[in-house]
Structures are given as structure tokens and as C-alpha cells.
Amino acid sequence: MIGFAVTHRHRMPRAVALCLAAVLASSGCASTGSADSPDSGQLILATTTSAQNTGLLDMLIPKADASTGCTTKAVAVGSGEALAMGEQGNADVVLVHSPEDEREFMAGGHGTSRKLIMHNDFVLIGPPGDPAGVAETDSSAEALTQIAERKAKFVSRGDDSGTHSEELALWRQAAVKPHGEWYVETGQGMGETLTIASQTDGYTLTDRATFLTTKGLSSRIVLDGPEELHNPYHVITVDHPATNTQCAKAFAEWLSGEQGQGLIDEFGAGEYSRQLFVPDAMPR
């Protein structure tokens, strides 16, 4: 996975999105045709780095394409940039985990449907020695307050992603404005930020799935369980003249259907002895 930093204000033309997706898939950049006349079977999925880095998309996309007859090109960015791509007509469907931004996106008339697909949870991770004593706290507000008071290093993604949005919301709940040398913003994806936190003995907020699937970390989970760390993912079909509506709708229906939900349910259970994502679209 190639790491790069983007912001919600960055504009990524549709042809560039297709080229980037091809690079990420190690297939090079081929002719994409007119940006105004997308191939009827070609689908651009803008999604979070957590869905990509964990390997979930590598498992889901080939099966979705076989079922829908579409060819999905995934672009893994932060949730903010994924939604911006949809708003600009540079993605047909988005899979994101930033509920407040998603509601704003839908209220702005940029999506035709929004479906809850799955969830996992956020966790706070830190150095093995836990110098801020986070493991002794009972809430994220208490944990972040202690980190700030002790000026223990905290590594933030700082990239307008769903995880970054959640982190900022948790700081607000703790009535803390993080600043100073102890607070570091990477502008990178979750995997890169986890590596930096581990190498610098810092704390960070991450989704559990990416933490479990990122290799070579010395960090450990120091806080999990509070309700505020719930992490839902929704799939949104984009409403834009450039949208491949047929494929976007087919992908969303497949992902929320029996096969997609069953694959999400099984993903990671063998290797990690637990689900990495819990399916939410089908009755349980």
C-alpha cells in the first residue's frame, strides 16, 4: 500500500483517481476514456485506509466483481477525501467511517443511499510501559486528559480521516486542546501512523483491525471498550452526473447482502481468533 497525505479540499480528477487505483493495484495506468463518459462496467470505490490495509478489500472486491459484472477500482484515502471525491464526481461509491461527515454529505444531496455495513472499534494504543497510566482509566476523556497532563507523546494522523475526526471529537469531549511538542501530526495513513507511534513510544488512536494486522509494532492496547469508541462503516452511493449508478447500486446491494455480509463475518477470524469487522446489514 502506497501512503500519501490528502486533505478534504484537495481535488482529484476522475482520471487521476483511476490512475491512482491502477498504481495501488500494481497494474499501471491505462487509458481511462472520457471523464464524462465512464465505462459502463467500471466502478471507482473511494474508501478508507483501514479497509485497504487490513486486506478486507483484497478479499471482497474480486467476489463483488464476479457477482455484479463490474470492475471495481479502489482508491484508499481518509474518509474526508473519500467523501470529497464523491462530491466532485470522482468516485461512484464510498465506504467510510466518519458519521458526522457522512450525514453532512447526505444532507448536501451528494448521496442517493447510505447503508450501515459493518463496525469494529477504536482503541488507544501506547508504549508497553504505559507512562501516562492510560490502562488505569475508565474512559477516553480520562485517558486523553492524563496524556495531556503528563505531556506523553501522542501521534495523530492529522489527515481529515474518519479516525482523525474521531480523535478530535474525543479531545473535545475531554475539554482538551492538544498542542505542544508532545502532540505530533503525521499527515499519514493509519499503518504509517501506528509505525511512527511504536517507534517513538507514543500513544495514538486506531481502529482495532488495522492495529492487529500491522506488523512489527511494539505498542499495546491500553484502552478499549468505552461506548464512544464504537466505529461504524457505511457505504454511500454517490449522486452526481458522472456516477456509474448501475454499478454503484449493485456494489452497495452486494456488500449489504448475504454474500458480502458473510465474507465480512468470516474475515480475520481464523488468523486473529476474532472478527476484524462485524457485519451489520443482515439480521443476526
Evaluate whether the domain defined by 121-229 bears CATH number 3.40.190.10: yes
User: Could you report the per-residue pLDDT of 43-60, keeping only the tens digit for each?
Assistant: 999 999 999 999 999 999
At residue 1, the 3 state secondary structure works out as coil
CA angle 206, 168, 223 (to 5 degrees): 40
Q: Is 194 in a helix, a strand, or coil?
A: helix
- Matching CATH topology for 14-120+233-279 and 121-229? yes
- Alpha-carbon distance of 90 to 86, in angstroms, equals 6
At 254, the pLDDT band (50, 70, 90 cuts) reads very high
Q: Which residue has the higher pLDDT, 40 or 281?
A: 281
Local structure of 229: helix, strand or coil: helix
* Predicted local confidence at residue 282, as pLDDT: 80
CATH number of the 14-120+233-279 domain? 3.40.190.10
Predicted confidence (pLDDT) per residue in 72-113, tens digit:
999 999 999 999 999 999 999 999 999 999 999 999 999 999
**For residues 125-132, average pLDDT:** 98
- pLDDT computed for residue 65 by the predictor: 98
> Do 182 and 153 touch, CB atoms closer than 8 A?
yes
Residue 199's identity, in one-letter code, is Q
Strands 71-76 and 42-47: parallel
> What was the pLDDT predicted at 34?
37
Mean per-residue pLDDT of the chain: 89
Q: What is the largest CA-CA distance in the chain?
A: 57
- The domain spans of the chain are 14-120+233-279, 121-229
CA distance 50 to 37: 30
Q: How many residues does the chain have?
A: 284
Query: How many beta carbons lie within 10 A of that of residue 229, not counting itself?
Result: 20
- Count of CA atoms in the C-beta half-sphere (13 A) of 73: 27
